[in-house]
Amino acid sequence: MKKKTVKPTYSLAHKKYLTKLRNTRIGISVGRWGVLILFIGLWELCTSIGVLDAFMYSSPSRIISQLKTLFTGGTIWNHMWVTLSETLWAFAISTVLGALLALLLYILPFTRRVLEPYLVILNSLPKIALGPLIIIWMGAGTKAIITMGILICIIVTTISLLNGYLETDVSKITLLKTMGANKWQIMQKLIIPSSLPNFIAVLKINLGMSWVGVIMGEYMVSKAGIGYLINYGSQVFKIDLVMSGIVILCLLSALMYGVVVALEYYVNKKRGYHK
């Protein structure tokens, strides 16, 4: 006799419960797409019947045709690459430097206490205020844009990572000490792995911040890039171009965010979640 796969028999109440859960899940999905479709639809409708001036507010259809022109023209690839590479540089440099700085401040408590007020002040300073100085020191080019991105990210990175290290469970440190661990082993075996989830959270924040820094930098000095395109569009009053730039930015940043989420998934998998 063939073995049948035994389906668990649920009570009516449990079936109802499962259905309810599934319906909620479907409802949320429908709602999410609904918001987007409604927003685009209303926008298109309002501009086509004249409630909104399409010249001032653009419209989904105008954005799509603008995007078509941009992508068939081909120069958009260069703009995208310029912005993306600037962002990646700012992101990478600020993350690495911030992590090293946080590590240094963690192992040197005296220095940490000396520098604490400076970190707080630098953190609250609107970094855009340094823009003119950066341009004078770095020149009006890519270097200035990346520096802007780094400045915006690095203090937050340092402070968040440092707090993550400092939150390490004291008894676990004591445990390693009783095993005879030295400072470096405590760092390597405990502090860094235990603050890994915090590190990924910092990456997510940092990513958003590096976009902010780079676009601000591009507004100030650039000759290419999505920020340049948006700025140029507003100067010649081509709102379609401005909106298209924003759409492209949305997609690029979502793409990069997706990479970090994938990294998070991978890390969690290595640690035995998602079994």
Partner 1 sequence: MTEKHILQLNHVSLTYHTLRGETLALKDISFGIQPGEFISIVGPSGCGKTTILSLIAGLLNKTSGDIYLQNDPITKTNKNVGYMFQRDELFDWLTIEENILLGLTIQKKRTPENKKKAQELIVKYGLDGFQKSYPRELSGGMRQRVALIRTLATNPHLLLLDEPFSALDYQTRLNVQNSMHAIIKSEHKTAILVTHDISEAIAMSDRVLILTKRPATLKKEITISLPQNLTPFERRNHPEFQTYFLKIWEELQDEEENS
Task: Please report, as ranges, the residues that interact with partner 1 according to CB under 8 A.
Answer: 169, 171-172, 174-181, 185, 189-190, 193-194, 196, 271-272
Residues 155, 122 contacting (CB under 8 angstroms)? yes
Report the nearest approach of partner 1 to the CB of residue 269 (Å): 12
Instruction: Kindly tell me which of 34 and 193 has the beta carbon lying closer to partner 1.
Output: 193
Nearest alpha carbon to residue 166 among 187, 181, 146: 187
Instruction: Kindly tell me which of 126 and 272 has the beta carbon lying closer to partner 1.
Output: 272
Report the nearest approach of partner 1 to the CB of residue 270 (Å): 8
Report the nearest approach of partner 1 to the CB of residue 194 (Å): 7
Residue type, 218: E
DSSP letter string, 183-214: HHHHIIIIIHHHTHHHHHHHHHHHHHHHHHHH
C-alpha 108: how far from its chain's center?
30
Instruction: Kindly tell me which of 27 and 193 has the beta carbon lying closer to partner 1.
Output: 193
Structure tokens at 4: 């049948």
Instruction: Kindly tell me which of 124 and 171 has the beta carbon lying closer to partner 1.
Output: 171
How open is the CA angle 90-96-97, to the nearest 5 degrees? Answer: 85
Report the nearest approach of partner 1 to the CB of residue 273 (Å): 8
Instruction: Kindly tell me which of 61 and 194 has the beta carbon lying closer to partner 1.
Output: 194
Nearest alpha carbon to residue 260 among 203, 213, 212, 214: 203
Residues 246, 196 contacting (CB under 8 angstroms)? no
Q: What is the residue whose two structure tokens read 């759409």?
A: 247
Report the nearest approach of partner 1 to the CB of residue 202 (Å): 17
